[in-house]
Amino acid sequence: MLDINLIRTNPDLVRENIKKKFQEDKLVLVDEVIELDKKNREAIQRADDLRHESNKAAKQIGALMGQGKRDEAEAVKQQVKAFKDELADLEKKEVEYAEEIRKRMLVIPQIIDDSVPIGKDDSQNVENERFGEPVVPEWEIPYHVDIMERLNGIDLDAARRTSGNGFYYLKGDIARLHSAILSYARDFMIDHGFTYYVPPFMIHGNVVTGVMSFAEMENMMYKIEGEDLYLIGTSEHSMIGKFIDQMLSEDELPQTLTSYSPCFRKEVGAHGIEERGVYRIHQFEKQEMVVVCKPEDSMKWYNKMWQLTVEFFRSMDIPVRTLECCSGDLADLKVKSCDVEAWSPRQQKYFEVGSCSNLGDAQARRLKIRVKGADGKKYLPHTLNNTVVAPPRMLIAFLENNLQADGSIRIPEALRMYMGGKAEIR
């Protein structure tokens, strides 16, 4: 959410940003906010004037009564009553104006960084850099579910009977590999100085609207019936939410956090749920990283965070690339974002396995997270999040890139201690 002062002082910048994101239907919101804000400030000023006049009149009544001028005092009382009636109406209007302004401000997109490429959708995202040599082996790479089934590691039919499409049973060495990757990711992030968390897996509605846009919320979140609780789609939601309404001391920054959680997603939209496969599903587990920092440090942390994901994947011999998200592909709260994509030898192309995002002060403003500086001044911190790893999607990349000619799966050195010393899965 933008600072309303920006709309007051530089509405053309806000309009230009909306155009860069190809959301021309939102241009009208800028004018509506300006008009509502004008009315709201007029109501606030008139209410302040009425309070001042009421206080003056109250003193006047006392003086008139002391002079025995009851009729005049009664007339002033009637005037005070009229002031109070008008004031009550204005206070009601202030609440209504504020609600209408906030409703519009929540859907006006954040100002994107100047470095973001301009494009209409994800087809216009821009490749940044490749890490590792993408290899296509001489032997055939089966579909990832076929690899898992040959190793007796997945049961999709049972999952469909219990839960429907978009769910899975992992078992045996594949289930162990899934857990090993998460354990390795946890220790990897701890070794890089991040504090490990296991957060709540449900959050209140005001936290949901604080961390994401309405469109994302509708397409992602599962609501608990009859309660003000939502299942998290990623642990970033509850990790940023832990700071709601908090005043942080500047010497507490940066907050560098890494969190494990299951994630629950409707996956409503064009992609849909796969009938057979574990790429797009309703339930998965993830290791996340979250940073809360000074505004001037956020781009430094943004670059460090995606580099950590690259380092993590390369430690398991998986080639990856980074893809800069264009303006039209950025969620409304994001200032800048890039995807980390892993190489698929079977498809002979890269596919998304994680996303790194700088949200500027958008979440902090929505959640009222503030920082008190050394000089006593208060400001909004910047928040960032990034996927460390999200199996089972990452399993697709792992299995394809570590599949050997005889059908066994090689276990990279970094992962063997989490697999009981195994060097391969057969």
Q: Is 323 exposed, middle or buried (0-12, 13-18, 19+ CB in 10 A)?
A: buried
- Starting at the edge strand that comes first in sequence, how are the strands of the sheet with 195-197 ordered? 126-131, 320-324, 336-344, 349-358, 382-389, 283-293, 255-264, 195-197
Write the pLDDT tens digit of every residue in 77-126: 777 778 788 888 899 999 999 999 999 999 999 999 999 999 999 999 99
Residues of the chain with CATH 3.30.930.10: 122-425
Residues of the chain with CATH 1.10.287.40: 4-105
Q: What is the CATH number of domain 122-425?
A: 3.30.930.10
- pLDDT at position 79 is 77
15's enclosing H/E stretch is helix 11-20
DSSP string, 116-162: SPP-SSGGG-EEEEEES-----SS----HHHHHHHTT-EEHHHHHHH
Is beta strand 247-249 parallel, antiparallel or unpaired with respect to 222-223? unpaired
- pLDDT at position 210 is 92
Spell out the per-residue pLDDT of the chain, length 426, in tens.
Answer: 899 999 999 999 999 999 999 999 999 999 999 999 999 999 999 888 888 887 787 777 667 677 777 777 767 677 777 878 888 889 999 999 999 999 999 999 999 999 999 999 999 999 999 999 999 999 999 999 999 999 999 999 999 999 998 899 999 999 999 999 999 999 999 999 999 999 999 999 999 999 987 677 777 889 999 999 999 999 999 999 999 999 999 999 999 999 999 999 987 655 656 667 788 889 999 999 999 999 999 999 999 999 999 999 999 999 999 999 999 999 999 999 999 999 999 999 999 999 999 999 999 999 999 999 999 999 999 999 999 999 888 999 999 999 999 999 999 999 999 999 999 999
- Taking a C-beta distance cutoff of 8 angstroms, is the pair 373, 250 a contact? yes
Average pLDDT of the chain is 92
Homologous superfamily, domain 4-105: Serine-tRNA synthetase, tRNA binding domain (1.10.287.40)
| Ramachandran angles phi, psi of 263, nearest 5° | -130, 140
User: Which pTM does this prediction carry?
Assistant: 0.89
Q: How many residues does the chain have?
A: 426
Write the pLDDT tens digit of every residue in 254-306: 999 999 999 999 876 556 566 677 888 899 999 999 999 999 999 999 999 99
Contacts of 342 (CB under 8 A, 6+ apart): 313, 318, 319, 320, 350, 351, 353, 394, 396, 397, 401
End-to-end CA separation in angstroms for the chain: 51
